[in-house]
Amino acid sequence: MGDIEIDDIEFARQMLSLKENKYEENKSRGMKQVVNKSYKISTLSNLPDGILFNILVKIPPKDIHKYVMRVCKSWKEIVSESFFIEQNFMESKTELVIQSGLVWRMKTKLIEIGKEFECESREVGLSKLRKIHSSCDGFLLMSEPGNNGMLQIINPATKFCLTIPRCPSHCKHKACSAALAFDSSTKQYKVVHVVTDSYGFEIFNVSSADDELQWERVSSPWEDLNDRPFNPVKFHWKNPVSINGRILHWYVDSAEYFITMQVKEEKFSRTYLPQRVKEINKTKNYALVELDGFLSFINCDSEKTMNVWILEDFRRKVWSKKHTIVAELTNYICPYKSSRQDERRMPRFWNLVAVAGARNGEALILEHKKNSSVFIYDTKSKVMKPFSSNMRKLESFVPHKDGLFRIMKRIA
């Protein structure tokens, strides 16, 4: 696949585009019939299967679902194979699903951040306002903001939608933690839900048989509730950091560890922070973020230094320092003729907290804790600039890749 030329990809797209444009042209002339367009794809159809596969696999999932599957039966068979779906997902670009914090006027956008900080946005394609909790294999786990909100699994590329039965805790999904995960041993998707400290953890196996469709309670990560590092009255669970939907990590207000769940075992354990970090101020800048498929721990040593650690080996708990961001070495780019004082000068690192990664871990999304301003930092060029999205009160940044994966079992 690495040898495929970009011209072949553009050729495939142009052939599909010609097919659509020809139909529109005849439609605009008032012609009701659809002209036979088989000759427009004859060149691609005559290609060897391997070359055709390498061309189609690079087309975005939403275009495959909307156009490619309708071209002919043989193409539909190719793009429906599990191996093609897996390879196509690997080729898909990672975007950020961002949401505003205005509940009844909530905005949701998909953002792709380019190498020069250019941001290309597009609509997610949702007909209703929904709060996004997590992303896994192209699926989004969402909930409606109403009082009787239900958890739903939605695939924006294929328009698949699945409503999950109400959980035993009768949570309204306003201030809970929820994530969609995948069990590679059973090939089942699972919804992991953390409600309140009093109720605990519960899991729903999405692909189970009809007689097994129910939520299951899971033991608390702490055998003794007095061992909890947080104040149960003041602490609020946040959505976990998902690593490829296979491992989930929760911040628990501890200066020593966080809670981890391996989806296959459905058991919780403590994962300790890097031992070489001399001092961790959990009330300041301590964040867990997914960067290019790895868990990252990001903290500030001072107002001028920020460290990025990567959990390179999860099983052996091996951390390595990936980046050290220094204020004096950072080139801050202020927006042209910005009227906002908080944008005219680079913020102190002490006031920034990492909320997401972008561009395969090369870029960090940082949020100002006091005024909610958002910034982008490029780890290669050491450039920082304000993040412009035309959306107010951003509070959700979820890494997402479109995919063609299917959940075979629908829930009645």
Query: How much is the pLDDT for 388?
Result: 74
Query: How much is the pLDDT for 308?
Result: 93
Bridge partners, 206 (sequence order): none
Average pLDDT, the chain: 80
Neighbours of 194 (CB within 10 A): 24
Query: How much is the pLDDT for 99?
Result: 83
Strand ranges in 301-393 using DSSP code E only, listed in sequence order: 305-313, 318-326, 331-332, 352-358, 363-368, 374-378, 383-386
Query: Average pLDDT for residues 332-355, to the nearest whole number?
Result: 76
Query: Average pLDDT for residues 143-155, to the nearest whole number?
Result: 79
User: Hey, which of 66-75, 145-154, 192-201, 337-346 has the most confident mean pLDDT?
Assistant: 66-75
Percent share of the chain, pLDDT over 70: 77
Strand ranges in 117-221 using DSSP code E only, listed in sequence order: 119-123, 131-136, 139-143, 151-155, 160-163, 177-183, 188-194, 201-205, 215-218
Query: Average pLDDT for residues 387-397, to the nearest whole number?
Result: 74
User: Hey, which of 7-21, 36-50, 217-231, 322-336 has the most confident mean pLDDT?
Assistant: 322-336
Q: Higher-confidence residue: 110 or 38?
A: 110
Query: Average pLDDT for residues 155-169, to the nearest whole number?
Result: 88
Q: Higher-confidence residue: 6 or 66?
A: 66
Residues contacting residue 362 through CB under 8 Å, at least 6 positions apart: 378, 379, 380
Distance CA 309, CA 295 (A): 8
**Closest to 367 in 3D by CA, of 338, 396, 339:** 396
Q: Higher-confidence residue: 144 or 273?
A: 273
- Record the pTM: 0.84
Query: How much is the pLDDT for 281?
Result: 60
- Least confident among 13-22, 194-203, 270-279: 13-22
* pLDDT band of 44, cuts 50, 70, 90: low
Distance CA 237, CA 253 (A): 10
Query: How much is the pLDDT for 35?
Result: 42
- Least confident among 106-110, 158-162, 353-357: 106-110
* pLDDT band of 1, cuts 50, 70, 90: very low
Q: Quick one: how many helices (H) and strands (E) in the chain? A: 7, 25
Query: How much is the pLDDT for 107?
Result: 80
Q: What is the DSSP letter of 361?
A: T
Query: How much is the pLDDT for 146?
Result: 65
- Least confident among 104-118, 274-288, 369-383, 396-410: 274-288
Bridge partners, 331 (sequence order): 383
Q: Higher-confidence residue: 178 or 30?
A: 178
Q: Where are the alpha helices (DSSP H) in 58-149?
A: 61-66, 73-80, 82-91
Query: Average pLDDT for residues 109-122, to the nearest whole number?
Result: 82
